[in-house]
Structure 1
Amino acid sequence: MSIATAFDIAIVGTDPRRDAATVRSWLADPHSAFWGMGRLSEEDVCDYLTAVVVDQRQDSWLGLVDGHPAFLAETYDPAHVVLTGIHDAREGDVGMHILIAPPAGHPRHGLTDAVFAAVMRWCFSTLGAERVVVEPDVRNARIAAKNARAGFRVLREVDVPEGDGVKRAALSVCTRDDFAASALGGLA
């Protein structure tokens, strides 16, 4: 699906073998520290992406900007993945993670806003979400600001199992109306 913006943005299914090296390079960048996956090998990333893709309750998506890989989006059923027993999921809730590639060369003004807006629109229009649910690390001020610009409301702080530990997260939701009224919802 393409979204009309100053950028040509498309979202396609992830192919773990094809995309593992690219995603691994993004995860290894310091900008991606909150993903906690910076030390994974290409094979580890391929295995991780494969596990997500084959699970019927979650999926992984590669985002292209102007025809080039630029972001990874993951979607999941928060009643059964990541937030099981933590979030009182409603029918139509879609969990979402986003990883935008670190800047290469000259930064492109407005790119992260355009990508975030495209992923949100895609969750609502293509995946049929009624609410998008996120659980970013409470220390991640950048994503907190981006989430607020997209219309997310923090419900509460929660502890989310992650790898061998626990992440303190800001459980947040965004309805279609919240997004439409937000700064990013107005991007076309």
Structure 2
Amino acid sequence: MEDTLELRLPGELLALFGQDRHSRTQAPAGREPQGTTPRGASGGEKPPGRPFPGEDLLDALAEWGVVATAVGSFQLVPVRIDRDLQLISSWMNDPAVAAFWELAGPESVTEHHLGGQLAGDGRSIPCLGVLDGVPRGYFEIYRADLDPLARHYPARPHDTGIHLLIGGVADRGRGLGTTLLRATADHVLDHRPHCARVVAEPDLRNTPSVAAFLSAGFRFSAEVDLPDKRAALMVRDRALSKVL
């Protein structure tokens, strides 16, 4: 199998196997809270799998700017809890979303989920997907190679993952998710030069999500058993991004 033959295990990944962390990878699903700031100093040796304090793991995502799509101008805007909590929590309480994200309940549930990422080391960044100035969905852009997901597939350095939900019921089922998925994946590849692949792991039961990834130029790579679901590993390759 292509992915297995090209397996590489850098120090970043080896460190993950020693971490006793419970993965909550639901796709489109949430991420577990991020770890504490790692030890390290300028000029010192970086602990395997841990960034130096202040190291940017996602290449200045907040500065990526706007990308043109067939449905308007799209931008990933990093979440601010004081501004965005009410909206994101309302989306998480939609039964269709809650079935896979499992973050329904009071705003404090969503706040805890967002806060874990915002207080972490930057390997996962929660964002609003903003189309022509209007938030249309919630996105998480994360370093899949530094995530517990890397224990379950042949990760490569700088693999970047996407979780997303489309917020409005009226926006679903008409191709918007596919368009924004493609735009987001290509946005990642355009701004992360060391990233050769964008990956995702939607629940196999979430057939609309799997279909959207396929329509957005991702290929089905494998079925993956994760701690709380059986997932479809979806991959968008840089080498094929201009033809798929």
TM-score normalised by structure 1 residue count: 0.84
Cα 1:16–1:87 change in 2 (3 A) is farther
Task: Name the residue aligned to 2:236.
Answer: 174
Cα distance in 1 for partners of 2:134, 2:219 equals 32
**Structure 2 residue aligned with 1:51:** 116
Change (3 A) 1:140 1:107: closer
Q: Which residue of 1 aligns with 2:184?
A: 119
The answer to whether the Cα contact below 8 Å between 2:202 and 2:232 also exists between their aligned partners in 1 is yes
| 4+ aligned runs moved over 4 Å, structure 1 | 106-110
Partners of 2:216 and 2:242 in 1: how far apart? Answer: 8
- Measured against aligned partners, the alpha-carbon deviations of 1:9-62 in whole angstroms (never above 9, x if no partner) come to 12111112321111111111133122222x232122112111112222211111
Mapping of residues 58-97 of structure 1, within 5 Å:
58-97=124-163
RMSD: 2.1
Give the counterpart of 2:102 among 36, 42, 61: 36
Corresponding position of 1:149: 215
Q: Taking CA–CA contacts closer than 8 Å with sequence separation of 6 or more, which of the two structures ends up with the larger relative contact order? A: 2
The one-letter code matched in structure 2 to 1:4 is: A
Give unmatched runs, 5+ long, in structure 2.
1-64
Does the aligned pair in 1 maintain the 2:129–2:139 contact within 8 Å? yes
In the alignment, which residue of structure 2 is the partner of 1:185?
A: none
Q: Is 1:27 aligned to 2:92, yes or no?
A: yes
How far off its partner does 1:92 sit? 2.6
Question: Which amino acid in 1 is paired with 2:243?
Answer: A
SS at match of 2:241: helix
| 1:170 to 1:107, Cα distance in 2 relative to 1, 3 A | closer
Mapped partners of 2:214, 2:173: distance in 1: 21
Distance 1:176 1:15 in 2: 30
Give the corresponding residue for 2:72: 7
TM-score, normalised by the number of residues in structure 2: 0.66
Asked if 1 retains the 8 angstrom alpha-carbon contact of 2:145 and 2:160, the reply is no
For the residues of structure 1 that align with 2:172 and 2:126, how far apart are their CA atoms? 25
Where do 1:122-133 residues align within 5 Å?
A: 122-128=187-193, 129-133=195-199
Q: Secondary structure at the match of 1:55?
A: coil
Q: Which runs of 5+ in 1 are unaligned?
A: 183-188
